[in-house]
Structure 1
Amino acid sequence: MAAEQPAPHYLPASTAATFENAPAIVEGALGKNVKSTIYVFMDPNCIFCHYAWKAFQPYEAVGLQVHWIPMGFLKPDSPGKAAALLQAQDGPALMRELEMKFSEKDESGGIKPLEKVPSATQTKLSGNAKMFRDFGFDGTPTIIYMTSGGRWADVSGLPPLNSLPTMLNLPEQPITDPSLQRFH
């Protein structure tokens, strides 16, 4: 039996500029190759964010661009890891390392946290967390996407994999990762 499609929660169009300009790590398709863009509030130690990252990889290959909006609240080292992502010379490369070395057993992102978060970076992280709260979101990942009808919507948590083509406005891609099979 297929998992149910999540019911979208619609956001006012006026809020788009807020999350579109959030400090983020941009991963996936670039330039004219972008066919769909989503925004994801995440914590570096969130296992469901990790699963979302894995699920989005095949879609990134066919035109998905993901703006990962980091926050740091789940574990004591979450803020340092989120700061490391924002400070990285190559944010997408560090994001990939975070996920490729993610410990599912310990639910821990696979990068070293910054020991001291610079105040400018802390301001960005605090702004992301405030935006998350102001929107009324309550869990990570929270995925913001444009519906086929042209409205911004969000879903909290990892949606069923069979809902991704509709959410992302992209053709279905095979997802064969064994850790994701329970989300089909």
Structure 2
Amino acid sequence: MYEKALPIIGAEKLRLRVVLVGFLKPSSPAKAASILMTNNPARALAYDESHFNTQTEEGGIRPALNPPPLIRRAVRNNTQLLIRTGEEATPTLLYRNKHGQWELQHGLGSHGLHKIMEIIS
């Protein structure tokens, strides 16, 4: 999703905030922590997505071996926030529609990011 959003972000039609969670696999929290621990989390996230293996359903980033407590707590809190939305799905998107009302969407579905852009612009 990140790479698909880049042209829309570059055109200044979308501001994207990524909140990393860890729930799909046992390694997910450590992978989210690994991304947060880098000097450039956006680049690490892009690497993770661009090296996604569809057979194993794993991104390319290696799990952090011993993330600091602050990072572990951030990932845990982010994951709990996602759970409170009522569904554990990624991506979960929170955005304002063209009427200024907040919309919450779990997953992109078949319509993808372009359909969302029609809703918000």
Please tell me the TM-score bracket, short chain as reference.
0.7 to 0.9
* Structure-2 separation of matches of 1:70 and 1:142: 11
TM superposition shift of 1:168 = 4.3
Structure 1 residue corresponding to 2:49, chosen from 99, 121, 135: 99
Residue of structure 2 in register with 1:55 after alignment: 4
* Structure-1 separation of matches of 2:25 and 2:84: 22
* Structure-2 separation of matches of 1:112 and 1:118: 16
1:90 is the counterpart of 2:44: no
TM superposition score normalised by structure 2: 0.86
User: Which one has the bigger strand percentage?
Assistant: 1
CA contact (8 A) 2:33 2:64 kept: yes
Structure 1 residue corresponding to 2:95, chosen from 118, 129, 145: 145
| Unaligned stretches of 5+ residues in structure 2 | none
Q: Which has the higher contact order (CA 8 A, sep 6+)?
A: 1
TM superposition shift of 1:119 = 0.9
What amino acid does structure 2 have at the position aligned with 1:163? K
* Structure-2 separation of matches of 1:117 and 1:167: 39
CA contact (8 A) 2:35 2:44 kept: yes
Residue of structure 1 in register with 2:17 after alignment: 67
Residue of structure 1 in register with 2:65 after alignment: 115
Q: Give the 4+ runs in structure 1 shifted more than 4 A.
A: none
* Structure-2 separation of matches of 1:168 and 1:60: 13
Percent of aligned pairs sharing the same letter: 26
* Structure-1 separation of matches of 2:37 and 2:21: 13
CA contact (8 A) 2:29 2:76 kept: no
Number of aligned residues? 118
TM superposition score normalised by structure 1: 0.59
